[in-house]
Structure 1
Amino acid sequence: MNVTHLYCSSCGKEYEPRRLYNLCDCGKPLMVAYDLEHVQTTLSRESLTSRVPTLWRYEEILPVDAQSNRITLGEGMTPLLKAERLGLLLGMGHLYIKDESLNPTASFKARGMAVAVSMAKELGVKKLAVPSAGNAAGALATYAAKAGLEAFIFMPSDTPSSNIIECQQTGANVTLIDGLITDCGRILSDRKEAEGWFDVSTLKEPYRVEGKKTMGYELAEQLGWELPDVILYPTGGGTGLIGMWKAFDEMERMGWISSQRPRMVSVQASGCAPIVEAFNSGSQFGAEITNAHTIASGLRVPRAIGDFMMLDILRNSGGSAVAVTDEELLWAVKEIGVAEGIFVAPEGGACLPALKQLISQGKVSRDERVVLFNTGSGLKYLEAFGMLEQK
């Protein structure tokens, strides 16, 4: 067992490992700490060459002990694709797309739920619950089914139909709510104690971020252990952004990478951009967005519990936060598709107009190595593209 303890991301309070926790007593997210010196007795950069091509190749820096509790559908080790034709259009020679749509359930959410559900099984949980704008729900439903656990899901009624059907067809208990993901979260919170549900909401338990951090490990491995200059990441709850930053810290402490860090860029939709607004105003926390709206359902998170962590990462890395319109991100999906043959989700599409903004502002140079994250498949958002065609 390589986990030494859990610690609060805000106040630093430590907690014993291998127990069920949601948030710290202060109400902020908990993170997992490892004995990295012990980790290195079996895990090295060289050892990875012969390992399984899933996120479980990094098993020593993941929290699940028993191999029998590791629920897997082949998640992780998604391709890092050089976007040559798109780069040519932008005058860039080192542009890449990390394509998370090839995960099980067709989104990056599979990473976090694979680890969270595995830990829930290991710690004896029987019922899991989550509020979701779509892809997290599908991932929970799928991995809970694989683990033989019950899943209770609360989604806005205007969630893409593919996500709703996905959850229903994998046996989850689905409740649709007339409201936003924050409204779903409040209902779950009010009922979970009486119903016996364990809440696996974004950053309200410690283990989804551990699955998401493997994107950072993969990125380093795929680039020969030299991180890119800039990472553009579509941000709702922000677990992936926080997870990758944690991965970079762990790898540096193990001597795998240098202290050089990418400039991290949070990309949001203009109709729901709490991180962008807080970044631009110099705030430590984001204010909740009223009447949040965007066709990119994964970006429709009015307030993120990990906002203070994201804002610290953006500022400490010399990065930034960018908002784009729904029309821009939807057209970008087609631009990426025509140039690279990748049908990205609207969230992934948002990274392209954000990159164009940063280039025009002189914040990104065309000769830098830049990675855009596509967090899911466009196939899960077909209604959104129908709306575009009507315009």
Structure 2
Amino acid sequence: MSQEHMTALRCVHCGQRHPVDAVAYTCPHCGIEGILDVEYDYNEVAGTLTREALAARPLNQWRYEELLPLDARAERPALHVGMTPVYESPALARDVGLERLVLKDEGRNPTGSFKDRSSALAVMKAREAGRDTVACASAGNAAASLAGFAAVMGVRSVIFVPQRTPEPKLAQLLVTGARVLRVEGSYDDAYWLCQAACERYGWYNRNCAINPYLVEGKKTAGLELAEQLGARMTDWVAVSVGDGCTLAGIWKGLKEMKRLGLIERLPRMMGVQAAGAAPVAAAMETGALKPMEARTLADSIAVGWPRNWRKAVDAVRESGGCFVSVEDAEMLAAQGQLARRTGVFAEPAAAAALAGLVRAVREKRVDPAESATVVVTGHGLKDVRTAMQALEAPLDVAPRVEAMEALLARIG
């Protein structure tokens, strides 16, 4: 049923529309610049995607089947994806200097990150296309996510990771049986090698940078926010940005819910990049992408040559939002602040969204009377080594009460 609602694949570069069955990845006229966007017949969608219908559906991302590029009859992964919790945090709001602050905790997805939304879709699309192998290049989260969903769906996965990928993320890949190729170089080096491998061997390409269907999985977070917040939608939604498709996907989901009459107003989007890897923020100012060498401890957003930058820039402009760049030290500070105030442990790239919001309030780009949602895209256990850099060492003590008392008296 849902696949019948797709009408075209539109190139965000040249604007040309292509039949949904005619193009696999990018616009044939624009090459790698021709990122495609899936379009739907919203009049048809509105007939069945209603508040009443949603109230009776399972609390996962498949509840939005009319807005997903899949046959509704297709087998779905057994793992629960989506409808991650949102938390109101008055204490964190006071710290940041805002009237209201909400968290959406994507670390509660099966492999601990937002990327599960698109990986679940990727494996289903691969099976639909008759492919037995799915590949991707990733700094860690997309890789771990794909490996997990490929395993549960009985599909082979080949993962290209950069040399600096954290050990916990490598462990997730290896324990699920993925074929892991650690590339001697950066994420961009891994990306190009993955592209070449997919072309040579005919593997299904899970890279969101070129695969238009995967952003449709990411947009389900925006669809959920619209349902979860409803009339209390925040003024801002802050999202960390690497390639750009996460922010673009969330914005698309929010817009679709507004178009369907399921929310009354839209938030402004805030894209947050690491200062050492901020080509999308720069493109917002110049209108053109200038690739750079990524230098940041936040591996998940260490992208120097983002392919989906145009969608992210368009989303921020259309929403009247902004881009913010933050230093690594600001991310680590936000990581600790988030955990101490809410109990949510975010990896540095996820904490970047909070760090950006803090900076935006301080620079008066966000008014203290406004409200904001921070999307926490990945769990902190993904990169424990980096988190430990900003923390005090544990206190060693002998197993005697007297030793404990002496230690506590000394440290106060």
Q: Structure 2: which amino acid aligns with 1:357?
A: R
Is 2:18 the counterpart of 1:15?
yes
How is 1:296-315 mapped onto 2 (pairs within 5 angstroms)? 296-315=298-317
- Cα offset, 1:226, TM superposition: 5.1
Contact 1:269–1:296 (Cα < 8 Å) also in 2: yes
How is 1:1-391 mapped onto 2 (pairs within 5 angstroms)? 1-18=4-21, 21-25=24-28, 26-27=30-31, 28-225=34-231, 227-258=233-264, 260-279=265-284, 282-290=285-293, 292-389=294-391
Query: C-alpha offsets along residues 167-218 of structure 1, whole Å, 9 cap, x if unaligned?
Result: 1111111000121111011112223222221221123111110010011111
Q: Structure 1: which amino acid aligns with 2:101?
A: L
Higher mean displacement: 154-163 or 119-128: 119-128
Contact 1:69–1:122 (Cα < 8 Å) also in 2: no
Distance change (3 Å), C-alpha of 1:355 and 1:108 = same
Higher mean displacement: 155-164 or 348-357: 348-357
Contact 2:65–2:72 (Cα < 8 Å) also in 1: no
Where do 4+ consecutive residues of structure 1 move more than 4 Å? none
Gaps of 5+ in 1: none
Contact 2:226–2:257 (Cα < 8 Å) also in 1: no
The whole-number CA distance in structure 2 between the counterparts of 1:163 and 1:333 is 18
- Cα offset, 1:18, TM superposition: 4.4
SS at match of 2:273: strand
Higher mean displacement: 360-369 or 330-339: 360-369
Distance change (3 Å), C-alpha of 1:161 and 1:94 = same
Query: C-alpha offsets along residues 258-299 of structure 1, whole Å, 9 cap, x if unaligned?
Result: 3x43221111111111122222xx222321112x12111111
SS at match of 2:161: strand
The whole-number CA distance in structure 2 between the counterparts of 1:76 and 1:361 is 34
Query: C-alpha offsets along residues 311-352 of structure 1, whole Å, 9 cap, x if unaligned?
Result: 122222221111111111112111111111111111121122
Higher mean displacement: 41-50 or 333-342: 41-50
- Cα offset, 1:19, TM superposition: 6.0
The whole-number CA distance in structure 2 between the counterparts of 1:183 and 1:161 is 19
The whole-number CA distance in structure 1 between the counterparts of 2:388 and 2:232 is 40
The whole-number CA distance in structure 1 between the counterparts of 2:303 and 2:36 is 20
Distance change (3 Å), C-alpha of 1:285 and 1:72 = farther
Distance change (3 Å), C-alpha of 1:148 and 1:226 = same
Contact 2:335–2:346 (Cα < 8 Å) also in 1: yes
- Cα offset, 1:390, TM superposition: 7.9
User: % of aligned pairs identical?
Assistant: 37
Distance change (3 Å), C-alpha of 1:72 and 1:240 = farther
Higher mean displacement: 322-331 or 185-194: 185-194
SS at match of 1:40: helix
TM-score in terms of structure 1 length: 0.94
- Cα offset, 1:122, TM superposition: 1.5
Structure having the higher Rg: 2
**Aligned residues between the structures:** 387
Q: Structure 2: which amino acid aligns with 1:286?
A: L
Q: Structure 2: which amino acid aligns with 1:278?
A: A
Q: Structure 2: which amino acid aligns with 1:172?
A: A
